[in-house]
Each structure stands twice: as C-alpha cells, then as structure tokens.
Amino acid sequence: MNKAFLLKILFTALIIASSFERSFACSYGPPYRTICETYAQAASVIIGKIESVESNDSNQRVIIDVKKTFKGKNQKRIILNQPQSTCDWDFSDDEGKTLLLYLGRDKKTKTYSAISEGMGGEIEKNNNDLYWLNNLPKSLKRTRISGTIELYQDKPFEFLNYIVGTKVRIFSKQNSYEVITDTNGVYEVWDLPIGKYKIVPEMPNGFDLRFSLSRGEIEFKPISEVEVDTEDFTVEIKPMTCGGADYVVEKRQ
C-alpha cells in the first residue's frame, strides 16, 4: 500500500464527502503523519528489495534483501509477517521492487510488519523522506518544513512526474522563506524557528491544484481560493520536529 494508493483513497473520500468534517477509511485521515513521527514510531527503517511474497488468507510472508538501514538492527535479510486486513500493506505486486519501508515489530512474536499509514513505498516516489533520512542523525535535532508537488492523471489515477522549479512560500508573522522545487519535485527549509507557518505554492501555468495532504490536516481547495491569511495551510513547528504539505496537481483541461 504505497503513497499513490493513499492518494487515490484520499481523493475518492474528498469527492464523496459533503463537508470537511468527514472520516477517512482506516487510519489515513488527519493528522497525516510526518516523516519525524513515522521514524520515531518505527522499530526499523530500511531500503530493501522484495525477494519473495507468499500469501494466505490472513497474512503474507515477505522476504526482504536489506540494502540500507536507517534505524534498527543491521540485518542482511528481514522476513515480514504482514497482516492482510483491509488497511494493511499488500505486497502481492511488489516482488523485485526496491522499497523504502517503515517497519513495526511485535515484541511477543518478535516479527516485523510494514507500517502502512501512507509512508514508504517505491524509492523514486519518496525523495522527501530520503532527504530527511539521509541527513541522519542531524535530522533528529533540526526543524524542517518540506513537501513535494506531483503531477497525477485521472483514468487511470496514477503518478506521472514531479513538478520542477515551482515557487513555494513559507511564512510566519516573524519569518518568510521562498523556495523552489528541485529536480525531484521537493521543496524544503531546514532550521526554522519554532512557530506556526503557512505554506502557499505558486501553481505553474497550465496546472490546477487537485488536492493537498498537509501534515496535520488535509485540505481540498483550488489555489485561487487560498488566502494568505487563512489557517487552512498552517503547520506548527515545535523543537526538533518537521512538517509540511504535499501537493497533487493535474493538467488544466
């Protein structure tokens, strides 16, 4: 269950919802977890290649060739005992793929399973996470606001590429920053003073904002309706924390 699947779930929920006070399936509603929070929750964080997947009615046995370990015991191979309820990660189509994985560990059975709150997945779709993870251990003591701007298409709903060179404004009452999305579609600002910050992307010509996933809340508004003084895109930064928002855009019809 990767990020693209999460986005599809969220978009479907947004379409059928009649107001912003709504509930989402499973655990994907607000607050959307930050990289910092998911890292803290995980027993292990790795990059690994899925060697094999064996499924039965209740779980999957997933063998992973570990390529890199960001957190947890260094192991060459990890075997997941992955539950198969509606909200759990299904690895059926992931054999041969190299994935970023946040893993939980059952202390009683001493087995691992993938945390599936919309975090992790294919490497090329997790650049924002990898920027933070590759900066460890310094990342743990630094504040950061970051996110991505991604182009999706409908019918079928799927990721196409990142939007590069787009300006994003990040500001509070005391501080203001302007950053540009890089070649991976990522914008980021490190070492911000604690406080509440608004995030406002400048949509490139020919594209419309479809929805945003703000870590802490979820909003769905055309960019033309976003006012600078609104609270809708506010992220609160506390000591040694991170936050931000990911934006999904589509080509204007």
Q: Which of 132-146, 211-225, 233-247 has the lowest mean pLDDT?
A: 211-225
Amino acid at 20: F
- Look at the block and give the residue holding tokens 């460890």: 136
pTM: 0.80
Q: What is the mean pLDDT of the segment spanning 80-93?
A: 85
Token pair, residue 121, equals 């997945």
The amino acid at residue 92 is S
Q: Contact at 8 Å (CB) between 130 and 148? A: no
Residue spans per domain, the chain: 38-123, 142-251
Q: What angle do CA 230, 232, 233 make, to 5 degrees?
A: 100
Average pLDDT over the chain, rounded to whole?
Answer: 80
DSSP string, 157-215: TEEEEEPPS-EEEEE-SS-EEEEE--TTSEEEEESPPSEEEEEEE-PPTTEEEEEEEET
Out of 49-63, 108-122, 137-151, 201-215, which region has the weakest mean confidence (pLDDT)? 201-215
Q: What pLDDT does residue 16 have? A: 31
pLDDT tens column, 177-212: 999 999 999 999 999 999 888 888 888 788 888 777
Q: Read off the pLDDT of each residue in 213-227 and give the average, rounded to a whole number.
A: 44
Long-range contacts of 62-67 (CB under 8 A, 24+ apart): 62/91, 62/114, 64/101, 67/98
Query: What confidence tens digit (pLDDT) does each residue in 33-66 have?
Result: 788 888 998 999 999 999 999 998 888 999 999 9
Q: How far is the C-alpha of 41 from the C-alpha of 35, rounded, in Å?
A: 10
Contact partners, residue 76, CB within 8 Å, separation at least 6: 65, 66
Instruction: Report the candidate in 218, 173, 180, 222 with the shortest Cα–Cα distance to residue 198.
Output: 173
Counting residues of the chain whose pLDDT is more than 90, the rounded percentage is: 42
Is residue 245's pLDDT more than 90?
A: no
Question: What gap in Å lies between CA 139 and CA 240, rounded to an integer?
Answer: 8
Q: Which of 3.30.2010.10, 3.90.1170.50, 2.40.50.120, 3.10.20.30 would CATH assign to domain 38-123?
A: 2.40.50.120
Q: State the Rg of the chain over Cα.
A: 18
Tell me the CATH number for domain 142-251.
Answer: 2.60.40.10
For the chain, how far is it from start to end, CA to CA, in angstroms?
Answer: 30
Q: Is the pLDDT higher at 173 or at 116?
A: 173
- Percentages helix, strand, coil for the chain, rounded to the nearest 5? 15, 45, 40
pLDDT of 22 strictly over 90: no
What is the average per-residue pLDDT within 140-167? 88
Stretch 127-140: mean pLDDT, rounded?
Answer: 95
- What does the alpha-carbon distance between residue 68 and residue 135 come to, in Å, rounded to a whole number? 14
pLDDT reading at 234 higher than 90: no
Note the pLDDT tens digit of each residue in 120-133.
888 888 999 999 99
The number of CA neighbours under 13 Å toward the Cβ of 114 is 30
The predicted pLDDT at position 33 comes to 75
88: confidence class by pLDDT, cuts 50, 70, 90: confident
Give the separation between CA 200 and CA 169, rounded to whole angstroms. Answer: 5
